[in-house]
Amino acid sequence: SAIMGKGLGSDVALITDGRFSGGSHGFVVGHITPEAAEGGPIALVEDGDTITIDAVSNRIELDVSDQELERRR
């Protein structure tokens, strides 16, 4: 995948609401609900934002303040 090709496999996860190839390696999360289409925080992600994934707690969080999210809306 492009992530592995750039040497980012240890630092970057692939998160998708669609399909991914069986050749994907590293941390891969598939079939995320269409949160962006429903106005969720994923629709407000910008380049450089940090997203925390906690696989044990089944949580994905956008590490941006509520005030900043309101500004982006």
Residues tagged active-site: 21
Report whether 62 contacts 41 (CB < 8 A): yes
Answer positive or negative: Cα dihedral of 59, 50, 47, 25.
negative
Radius of gyration of the chain (CA): 13
Lookup result for tokens 């609900």: 33
